[in-house]
Amino acid sequence: MGDVAVGARSGHDGEEHPGRPAEESVPGQDGDMTSGNEPGPAGGGPSSGGQRPGSGEDGPGGSAAGPKKPRSFWKELPILVGIALVLALLIKTFLVQAFSIPSDSMQNTLQQGDRVLVDKLTPWFGSEPERGEVVVFHDPAEWLKGEPTPTPNAVQQVLSWIGLMPSAEEKDLIKRVIGVGGDTVECKGSGPLKVNGKALNEPYVYPGNTPCSVDDQGGQFKVKVPKGYIWVMGDHRQNSRDSRYNQDDKNHGMVPVDKVVGRAIVKAWPINRWGTLPVPDTFDQPLDQQSSAAASLSVAPQGLALVGVLPVAVWRRRRTAARSTESGTRA
């Protein structure tokens, strides 16, 4: 053991001292390992092997033998904050963004001050809004004209920049999708609201409100939604400036699909109002205009087939009778 320690420090790979037998060097080296400061076998001063291994007092590798000092938390903190900001920006841009409810137009489904999480991912894959969904969309044609714009403080500006709060500069609205491209939506009297002639049972409408508003400002209507647009209404029917009351704009009250930010999926705050925002059951019924024609085909396919085949059968009978008459004449 003593030979290895001395050789490693002297650079001779454990070679024996010249002029000294190998068996005499062993006890002396063991003594060096024990005391560290006794005279070596050659006399004079302390032995070259007197240093304890790993003491770090000499040699080029002495200082590197100790453990590395861990990086200070305060030096790592800016890196962690930077990574968190990048992730927050990516999530805000492509996945989910938080929005605040500024009014009572969606009561009681959503209350003023609620925070909702909006799915922004599915529109990137070509998904379009469906009936019954609660969606956030950019102001399509100055619906919010004249509405006051709040002035955020510094903290709110930072939170909106990283996506934890909506930006005050973005004029966004939140409503429920009632009709999609190709639908006919109508309201007569106080209701019910109809889509393609089918009445909707709307338990989400604000208590005390009627599904349709009896007024001449837009509460009574019958519209056909063009392809690439949606018709939206608030759940608080008598307190919502929705598609009904914007029919004089360039889109006739419709919202272009490309203006839709995404679907609101969760009420995230306050915590006592946490919950999901599913599509109501009333939209599970067949509402497509083609459904009535498909139903008639399924009810009496044999009758329709008979109507189509009958003229062919009559024509073949007449042709057979004519051939028989011609054959009898020739005979």
Catalytic residue positions, numbered? 105, 175
Greatest Cα-to-Cα distance within the chain, rounded to the nearest angstrom: 153
Distances (CA, A) of 213 to 198, 221, 254: 18, 10, 18
Residues 215-251 as b or e (16 or more Cβ within 10 Å = b): eeebbbbebebeeebbbbbbbbbeebbbbbbbeeeee
Which string of DSSP letters, residue by residue, matches 158-183?
HHHHTTSS--TTS-EEEEEEEEETT-
Peptide bond into 246 cis (omega under 30): no
Tell me the residue type at 98: A
